[in-house]
Structure 1
Amino acid sequence: MINSGVCGFRTCCLRLHCFPEKPLFLSARVSSTCRRRHLLTASSVSGAKKKEKKEKIIVISGPTGSGKSRLALELAKRLNGEIISADSVQVYQGLDVGSAKPSPSDRKEVPHHLVDILHPSADYSVGQFFEDARQATRCVLDNGHVPIVAGGTGLYLRWFIYGKPDVPKASAEITSEVYSELAEVQRNEDWDTAVQLVVKAGDPKAQLLAANDWYRLRRSLEIIKSTGSPPSAFRVPYNSFREPGDSSTTNSSHDVNTSVDTMEEPKSRELDYEFICFFLSSQRVDLYRSIDYRCEDMLSGSDGILSEAQWLLDAGLDPNSNSATRAIGYRQAMEYLLRCRHQGGRSSVGDFYHFLSDFQKASRNFAKRQMTWFRNEHMYHWLDASKPLEKVLDFIYASYHDESETLVVPETLRMRKDIRNRREESELKSYHTKNRHFTSREDCSHILDWIRRTQG
């Protein structure tokens, strides 16, 4: 059986009989030992010990399409590791293509956790991820294996490393109310109006959020509506690991970015584990090209992302209505199919290419936001994804076994965090999509035929 759960907890029990069948629901392997455990973590530094030797956890992140999943898989083979997914879409059953979920053969070869644990009708929060991922980590370590946490959901990883904030979770009703309240201004890309709306609701620090950080803006409004207080009224563990005097600390209840370059070593020792964190990326233009091709690949074949989007619609879900249907790719595909249904199962070539372009643009923008987020996450060592995989693996393998307190990335593997030359900046400004598969009317004819057969 494929190991797709977390040592026996959070197995699939969400009224699956109410939805169309899709043969992808795999139960988790049960471990009685791990069922008895609940969020056991390493203790803080004791005054009686100068230095406590902590258990090690590898964290691998990177923008969408950077190759982090393959890197994690190969690393797990070398280190006798198990992978804990930090991907907010891979938790959902049936959302395989659009989340680039590991294949059944990969999951059979290397145990994966937090993959296929929920039906798409359910919501999954960062707080629940913290609970699940910490329990999975404890299980992996108790099995004598190496936990490798891999994924690109930045807030998941921040909470996983630093701890869970005290901010209460909003109810489903309030979450829906906030999405509706901000939906139109977000569609119009009217960031300033949205910020003022949240400021008037009771959070003046919303003005300090990074432009177009819609997640944190929505979260702020959720907190205000749930508690009557702004996010700054609640404790966030991440704040205590910032440098004293950092001016961005006042904004940190939103989990906004900071410009600090390093973390104080004494504070890092207060973490539950020894986290060895890497961020895999490549030159921005190369990354964008790879993402565009990847979006095309997700539309190829008979079981692509459009087929999965159709399954979501047939299950009675609407686009942008919950966590799964807000995911990039699925939201665009569901909206496109709904337009086709309203037209009696017809789609023009232009409609298809417009959908593809929206899908690619949303994916590139997501990668850009990921890079902005992790540029300010100072636990991470940036690695160049264009370098040979074996060399990257050798370096991470050696870093895991290195007992020194300082990890230095060799210049041959180091990836710059910022654009620092005019040529690269010029290439990025002039970038435009060049499709590899879909370049003419004939290239999308099979998809238009499929739409006529299935959406009429």
Structure 2
Amino acid sequence: MSPVPDRLSPVLIAGPTASGKSELALRLAERLGGVVVNADAAQVYDCWRVLTARPSPEDLARAPHLLYGHVPGATRYSVGAWLRDLAPLLADPPGRLIITGGTGLYLSALTEGLAEIPPIPERIRALSQQRIDAGAVADLLADLAREDPETHSRIDRANPARIQRAWEVLRATGRGIGAWHRDTAAPLLDPAACVRIVLMPERSLLGKRIEHRFHLMLEQGALEEARDFAARGLDPALPAARVLGAPDLLAHLRGEVTLTEATASAVIGTRQFAKRQRSWFRGRMADWRWIDPLAEDPLAAICKCI
């Protein structure tokens, strides 16, 4: 990766959950006097700090952080909304932006552009959710295979949310997501004008970190967060209700599983999610600078690119 001459050129740090992105971004912000900006779809919600590993009060005191916990849990936040929230920061940066998160779609939309897909009507959203709740994800995939083979061949078939979104777009617009992406406008950020990093620890190490972190979340109050969320009586189909670990803890609070069972399920689900993230990054971010923190110092490697 060639050096970036502009002292305010953003640094983008992607990576799977529990890979150490947030701590790396914080150390970089301290080194450069920068601002850490969230690019994680779960960390935007105000109702989950512990469970989504949002920066702690101590972290917030070390460097400025933006776009964390600024969205009510009842809101259906989207990548388009995130880009709109980010745009003013790119236009008038308060310092070097260090944009970090595990939501690859956010970062790819930022550097590749986002299709302007019309809003999905509530009746179609409700229909797709009924089929998801009935365990009919395979039926949605079959519809995509028959009517939108382009999307079906590219979609993450282990991710019900992606399948649901593709099906809704097809039903609402009569066009597949691939067709919409071909009409995509220019991205907000030229990929050549920023430093792009994928932090990728070795798989077994990542698995251990995921398990350790979830137990730490429980010690820090994740179950109490889940209890507060349940008391709000929000729609369980909302994105905020489906963040990693939330369905498992909510099931425990309903008396359906023990806390031990909920913990095991959450850890397994998070590991599976990290596996899908790795696959996504390999497919969409092959031209980014990949760093194994056991093989080299990520902070030093990034600073060499600036």
Report the TM-score, using the length of structure 2 for normalisation: 0.88
1:295 to 193, 214, 225: 214
Residue 300 of structure 2 aligns to which amino acid in structure 1?
Answer: D
Find out whether 1:332 has 2:248 as its counterpart.
yes
Per-residue deviation, 1:107: 1.5
Find out whether 1:73 has 2:19 as its counterpart.
no
Identity %: 29
Find out whether 1:312 has 2:257 as its counterpart.
no
Q: 1:84 to 1:375 in 2, by over 3 A?
A: same
Q: 1:311 to 1:289 in 2, by over 3 A?
A: same
Find out whether 1:151 has 2:101 as its counterpart.
yes
Q: Which residue does 1:352 correspond to in 2?
A: 259
Q: Which residue does 1:160 correspond to in 2?
A: 110
Q: Secondary structure at the match of 1:56?
A: coil
Q: Which residue does 2:193 correspond to in 1?
A: 274
User: Once the two structures are superposed, what CA deviation does each residue of 1:391-442 show, in whole Å capped at 9, x if it has no partner?
Assistant: 3212211211xxxxxxxxxxxxxxxxxxxxxxxxxxxxxxxxxxxxxxxxxx
Per-residue deviation, 1:277: 0.8
Map 1:37-76; keep pairs closer than 5 Å: 56-76=9-29
Q: 1:293 to 1:105 in 2, by over 3 A?
A: closer
Per-residue deviation, 1:362: 0.6
Residue 352 of structure 1 aligns to which amino acid in structure 2?
Answer: L
Find out whether 1:370 has 2:289 as its counterpart.
no
User: Once the two structures are superposed, what CA deviation does each residue of 1:118-177 show, in whole Å capped at 9, x if it has no partner?
Assistant: 21111110110111122222232xx3x211101000101110112221322324443332
2:205 to 286, 298, 308: 286
Residue 380 of structure 1 aligns to which amino acid in structure 2?
Answer: W
Q: Which residue does 1:90 correspond to in 2?
A: 43
Q: Which residue does 2:119 correspond to in 1?
A: 169
Q: Secondary structure at the match of 1:116?
A: coil
Preserved CA contact (<8 Å) 2:116 2:184: no
2:292 to 369, 373, 384: 384
Q: Which residue does 1:233 correspond to in 2?
A: 179
Map 1:168-207; keep pairs closer than 5 Å: 168-185=118-135, 191=138, 193-200=139-146, 202-207=147-152
Per-residue deviation, 1:77: 0.8
Find out whether 1:105 has 2:63 as its counterpart.
no
User: Once the two structures are superposed, what CA deviation does each residue of 1:209-258 show, in whole Å capped at 9, x if it has no partner?
Assistant: 343243332122111221122223324477999xxxxxxxxxxxxxxxxx
Q: Which residue does 1:260 correspond to in 2?
A: none
Question: Whose Rg is larger?
Answer: 1
Q: 1:110 to 1:335 in 2, by over 3 A?
A: same
Which of 1 and 2 has higher RCO (CA within 8 Å, sep 6+)?
Answer: 2
User: Once the two structures are superposed, what CA deviation does each residue of 1:87-135 show, in whole Å capped at 9, x if it has no partner?
Assistant: 1111111311111111123213311111121211111101101111222
Report the TM-score, using the length of structure 1 for normalisation: 0.61
Question: What is the RMSD of the two structures over their aligned residues, measured on CA atoms?
Answer: 2.5
Residue 310 of structure 1 aligns to which amino acid in structure 2?
Answer: R
Structure 2: give runs of 5+ residues left out of the alignment: none
